[in-house]
Amino acid sequence: MNKKKNSVHPSRRGFMKSTASAAAGFMIVPRHVLGGKGFIAPSDKLNIACIGAGGKGWSDIRNAYADGENNVVAICDIDTKLAKNAMEKWPKAKFYKDFRIMLSEMKDEIDAVTISGPDHMHGVAAMSAMREGMHVYVQKPLTHNIYEARQLTEGARKHKVVSQMGNQGASNPAQQQLVDWYNAGEIGTVNEVHVWTNRPVWPQGIPFPSEKPEMPTHLNKEDWDLFIGPAEYMDYHPLFHPFKWRGWWNFGTGALGDMGCHLIDSPFRILELGYPTEVECSVGQVFTRDWVPEFIPEGCPPSASVQLKFGATEKNPSDIKFNWSDGGIRPFHPDLIPADHFIGEEGSGNGVIMIGDKGVMSCGTYGRVPRLYKKGQEMVEMPDDYEAGIPYQDKPESGHQYAWTKACKEGFGSKAHQSLTSSFDYSGPMTETVLMGNLAIRSYALAKEGESGRRDFFGRKKLIWDGDNMKVTNFEEANQFVGRPYRDGWKLI
Ligand SMILES: NC(=O)c1ccc[n+]([C@@H]2O[C@H](COP(=O)([O-])OP(=O)(O)OC[C@H]3O[C@@H](n4cnc5c(N)ncnc54)[C@H](O)[C@@H]3O)[C@@H](O)[C@H]2O)c1
C-alpha cells in the first residue's frame, strides 16, 4: 500500500519507511503472489485502540477492525463486565481503564482510536488522542458542549489527523438522495424546517437521586473516578452508568444530544448551514404535587421545543426557522403531505421535514425513507437502483467506520479523507448547532429565589448568538453553558 504522510503513527511510519526502502533493494516477488487474493500485509493494517468497548463502542471497534483488516492493539473501558466481549475477541490487546495512561504508554503503537464512551468524556479523550497524532472516530454528539466541538474541529486540522463523527446516517445513500433533490431545485428555497424525536427513552425529567446505592462488585472507587473523568464528581448511581447518564447534564446531552446529530444532519448538510444566529426554547414541566413544578437543574427535561434561526446563504437565499421538538411531541402535517401518510419515518416517532417554496422533502432517522412532495404531483421516493456514489455500502452501518479506517491509511488531506461524510470540518459545526439547543434549554432553567419564595426564571428569553466568537450577546449568564470547568487531572487543551 502506498502509505502517505500522516497515515500511520510517526514512529510506525519511520519503521515502515525504512522497511520499504530496505525491501525496495530486495524486491523480488509481488505482494499478491505472497499472499494471494485478499492478502493484507501487516504493514497495511492500522493499529486501533478503543475507548469505551461496551454499548456502541462494541460495534464501533468491530466495524473498524473489519474482520481482521486492522489490528485491535488496546482496549480501554472502566467496566470490565461491559468490555468482556472485546477482551475475549482480542485477547492480545492490552487492557486499560484509564485512557490517559493508554494513550501515553502506547503512543508509538496506536494509529487510530474509536471513542465511544459517554458524551462528557468525548472532548478530552479525542483531544488527548489527536495530540499524540492518532486518528479519531468519535461518537455523536462530538462533544458535551460548544467550546469543545470548536476545539476538536480546529484540533483535527492542527494535528493533521483523520477524523469522523459516529453519525453513521451521514454515509447512508438516502441522505445523498435528499441532497440531489434539493440541488435539482425540486423544493425551491427552504424557509422552514422541522426536526423531532421520540427521545428520551430513558429516565429523564426525574428528581436527582438522593440515595447512595452500593456499587456493583465488579466496579471499584477508582473505576468510578475514571467514569467521572473531567466532569464534576458525583457518587455512583445506576441512574448514571451504564446508558442512563444521557439524562443528566453532568454527563449527557439529553434528547438533542442523542438524536440531534442523526436528524439535524440531513438539513444541515443539504442547506449547508453555518452557525445559527438566534435560539429560543420552552421545556416540559413535571408535577409530583399540585401547582409546584419540580425544579431539576441537574437533569435534562422530559420534553423540549427549540427554534433556531439561520440567515440566508448562497445555497439557500432565505432565512430559515429551524424547529426542534422532543419527548414525543411532533410537528403537524404540512399541507403537501397527505393526511394518512406518516411523517418522517414509519410511526412518525422521529423525522425531518424541509418546507420550500416549490415543495416539501421529508425523511426519518439517518435520512432514511426520503420522500418528495410537490403540488399536484404524486409523492416521489428513492429509486431502488439509486446510486449515491458513497463507497463501502456492503459494510455494516453504511461503511461509516470502515471508510474512516481507509482514510486513516491514505492519510490526512487524502482523497479518501476529503470524501468522508462526517469529518470534524463538517460534524464540528453541526454538533455546535445541536448543542446550541441545549445551551438554550439550560439557560431556560436558570432561576433565583423571587419574592414570596417563588422561583424567578430569569433566562427565559430569546438568545442572540455570535457564532464566530461563541458568545450569547444579549444574556451574559447563558455563556456559562458554552464550555465547562474540568476536574483536576483532566484537561481539554
Ligand atoms: N451512532 C449511534 O447510533 C449511537 C448509538 C448509541 C450510542 N451512541 C453514542 O455512543 C456513546 C456511548 O453510548 P452508549 O449507549 O454505548 O453508552 P453506555 O453507557 O452503554 O456504554 C459506554 C461504554 O463506555 C464505557 N466508559 C464509560 N466511561 C469511560 C471512560 N472514562 N473510559 C473508557 N470507557 C468508559 C462504559 O463502561 C461502557 O462500556 C454516546 O456518545 C452515545 O451518544 C451512538
Q: Is 364 in the pocket of ligand 1 (CB under 6 A)?
A: no
Beta strand residue intervals within 35-81, DSSP E:
47-51, 71-76
Which residue, by CA, sits nearest to atom 22 of ligand 1?
Answer: 117
Ligand 1 binding pocket includes 490 (Cβ within 6 Å): no
Ligand 1 in reach of 118 Cβ (< 6 A) = yes
Q: How far is the CA of 121 from the centre of ligand 1 (A)?
A: 10
Which residues in the chain show pLDDT less than 70? 1-42
Ligand 1 within 6 A of CB of 254: no
Q: Does domain 172-390+430-481 have CATH number 3.30.360.10?
A: yes
The whole-angstrom separation of Cα 113 and Cα 144 is: 19
Say if ligand 1 is within 6 A of residue 229 CB. Answer: yes
> Quick one: which atom of ligand 1 is closest to the CA of 121?
31
- Tell the residue nearest (CA) to atom 6 of ligand 1: 56
Distance CA 352, CA 356 (A): 13
Q: Considering only CA atoms, give the Rg of the chain.
A: 24
The angle formed by the CA atoms of residues 176, 181 and 182, to the nearest 5 degrees, is 95
pLDDT value of residue 75: 99
Residue 488 CB contacts under 8 Å (≥ 6 apart), including other chains:
none
Q: Is 54 in the pocket of ligand 1 (CB under 6 A)?
A: yes
Interaxial angle between packed helices 400-410 and 56-65, expressed in degrees from 0 to 180 and rounded to the nearest 10: 50
Give CA–CA dist 371/359, Å, rounded: 11
99 lines ligand 1 (CB under 6 A): yes
The answer to whether the CB of 263 is under 6 A from ligand 1 is no
* Cα–Cα distance, 61 to 49 (Å, whole number): 8
Q: Can you tell me which atom of ligand 1 is nearest the CA of 119? A: 41
140 Cα to the center of ligand 1, angstroms: 10
Nearest CA to ligand 1 atom 38: 54
For residue 232 the three cell numbers come to 464534576
Q: Is 140 in the pocket of ligand 1 (CB under 6 A)?
A: yes
Cβ–ligand 1 distance for 166 under 6 Å, the answer yes
* DSSP bridge partners of 322: 193, 308
C-alpha cell recorded at residue 459? 433566562
- Whether 65 is in the pocket of ligand 1, judged by its Cβ within 6 Å, is no
Q: Is 168 in the pocket of ligand 1 (CB under 6 A)?
A: yes
Which residue's CA is minimally distant from atom 4 of ligand 1? 56
Q: Would you list the domain boundaries of the chain? A: 10-170+393-428, 172-390+430-481
CA 79 to centroid of ligand 1, rounded, Å: 11
Q: How many residues are recorded in the chain?
A: 493
* CA 444 / ligand 1 centre spacing (Å): 28
Kindly report the pTM of this predicted structure.
0.94
Q: Is 79 in the pocket of ligand 1 (CB under 6 A)?
A: yes
CA of 437 to the centre of ligand 1 (A): 22
Q: Supply the pLDDT for residue 6.
A: 53
Whether the CB of 131 sits within 6 Å of ligand 1? no
Phi-psi map region of 357: left, alpha, beta (phi>0 left; psi -120 to 50 alpha): alpha
Nearest Cα to 47, choosing from 84, 75, 26?
75
**Torsion angle, alpha carbons of 448, 451, 454, 459, to 10:** -40
Residue 258, C-beta contacts closer than 8 angstroms, at least 6 positions apart: 197, 199, 200, 246, 252
Is 165 a pocket residue for ligand 1 (Cβ < 6 Å)?
no
Q: State the distance from the centre of ligand 1 to the C-alpha of 119, rounded, in angstroms.
A: 8
The alpha carbon of 189 and the centre of ligand 1 are apart by a number of angstroms equal to 38
Asked if residue 302 has its Cβ within 6 Å of ligand 1, the reply is no
Environment class of 456 (CB within 10 Å of its CB; exposed 0-12, middle 13-18, buried 19+): exposed
Any ligand 1 atom below 6 A from CB of 143:
no
CATH architecture of 10-170+393-428: 3-Layer(aba) Sandwich (3.40)
Q: Are 161 and 130 in contact (CB under 8 A)?
A: yes
Q: Where are the beta strands (DSSP E) in 171-245?
A: 190-196
Q: Is 247 in the pocket of ligand 1 (CB under 6 A)?
A: no
Could you tell me how far CA 329 lies from the centroid of its own chain?
23
Q: So what's the pLDDT on residue 41?
A: 67
How far is ligand 1, taken at its centre, from the CA of residue 104, in Å? 22
299: CB partners within 8 A, 6+ apart: 204, 205, 206, 207, 208, 247, 248, 249
Phi, psi of 372 (to 5 degrees): -125, 130
